[in-house]
Amino acid sequence: MGNGLVGSVGPQRLFFDVWSRVYDVPVVQWAIYRPVQDAVLRELRRSRACRILDVGCGTGILTDRVASELDAELVCGCDFSVGMLERASIRRSGPWVQADAQCLPLSSGSVDAIVSSESFHWFPDPDVALAEFHRVLAPSGRLLVGMVNVRTAAVSRAASAASAIVGEPARWATRAQMRHRMGRAGFRVVLQRRVVRVGGVVFPTVLTVATRDG
C-alpha cells in the first residue's frame, strides 16, 4: 500500500470528536467493542493478510491490536473524526488517515483486508462505501464487518428513524440485507457469525466476512 496512501483533509464531525473522550473507558470497551475486536482478530489470523486497513478505527485500539498481534506488513487506521485520530496517534505512531469511508485516499487493489468494527452503520451511504472497499481491495481480498444486525427490516427502519431524530443517523441492517448489499457490490459472503456481548440478545451483533470477487 505504501505509495498508495496519502493524507486526506475532510470535515470534522462533532459527534464522534465528543465520543472519542469516552471511547477508551475500560467498561465501554469491555461491554461494546472488545468482543467484536476479538472476533475480527480470529478471522484475520486465518487470512494472513499482509496489508490491512481498519476503516472507522476510532481511537485505534483494534488497529493497534492487529499491528501487535498479527504478522502483517502494514496496518493502517482510517477515521473521519479528528478527535478519534488524535487519541489514536498517542497510542501508536501510525500510519493514520483522516478520511471518509466513501472516498478513501488509497490506490486501487492496494490492501489485502479491510476491517470495519462497529462503524459501518454510521456510513451515510453503505453502498458507496462498499464500492470503495471493493476498489481498494486486491483480488481475493477479505472484508470483515462487525456490527449490530437487527432481526427484521421493520426494526432496521425504526432504529434508523430514531437515530436520525437524535441528530446522528445510523443504518442497522439485517443479516440478509448485509449479504444482499455485499453481493451487489461484488463481494461473496463466506461467513456470518454471531458475536456474544452485553446487550446481544436485544441487539444481536454479527461479524460478516466476505471476499472480493474478480
pLDDT digits (tens, 9 = 90+) for 82-132: 888 999 999 998 899 999 999 999 999 999 999 999 899 889 899 999 999
The DSSP 8-state label assigned to residue 9 in this structure reads -
On whether the CB atoms of residues 211 and 187 are closer than 8 A, the answer is yes
Cα distances (Å, whole numbers) of residue 12 to 9, 183, 190 = 9, 31, 35
The DSSP 8-state label assigned to residue 21 in this structure reads T
pLDDT digits (tens, 9 = 90+) for 39-49: 999 999 998 89
Euclidean distance between CA atoms 80 and 152, whole angstroms: 29
Using the predicted structure, report yes or no on whether residue 60 has a pLDDT greater than 50.
Answer: yes
How confident is residue 77, by pLDDT bands cut at 50, 70 and 90? very high
Residue 23 has a pLDDT of 64
Using the predicted structure, report yes or no on whether residue 9 has a pLDDT greater than 50.
Answer: no
Cell representation of residue 17 = 470528536
Euclidean distance between CA atoms 56 and 123, whole angstroms: 9
Cell representation of residue 77 = 487506521
The DSSP 8-state label assigned to residue 210 in this structure reads E
- CATH number, domain containing residue 136: 3.40.50.150
The DSSP 8-state label assigned to residue 168 in this structure reads S
Euclidean distance between CA atoms 62 and 36, whole angstroms: 9
How confident is residue 29, by pLDDT bands cut at 50, 70 and 90? low
Q: Reduced to 3 states, what is the DSSP secondary structure of residue 214?
A: coil
Using the predicted structure, report yes or no on whether residue 11 has a pLDDT greater than 70.
Answer: no
CA angle at residue 87 from 98 to 137, to 5 degrees?
40
Cα distances (Å, whole numbers) of residue 87 to 57, 103, 146 = 11, 23, 22
How confident is residue 169, by pLDDT bands cut at 50, 70 and 90? low
On whether the CB atoms of residues 36 and 195 are closer than 8 A, the answer is yes
Is 8 or 211 the better-scoring residue by pLDDT? 211
Range of the domain at 178: 2-212
Domain count, the chain: 1
Nearest to 53 by CA among 120, 131, 144, 148: 144
User: By CB neighbour count within 10 A (0-12 exposed, 13-18 middle, 19+ buried), where does 138 fall?
Assistant: middle
Residue 124 has a pLDDT of 87
Residue 164 has a pLDDT of 65
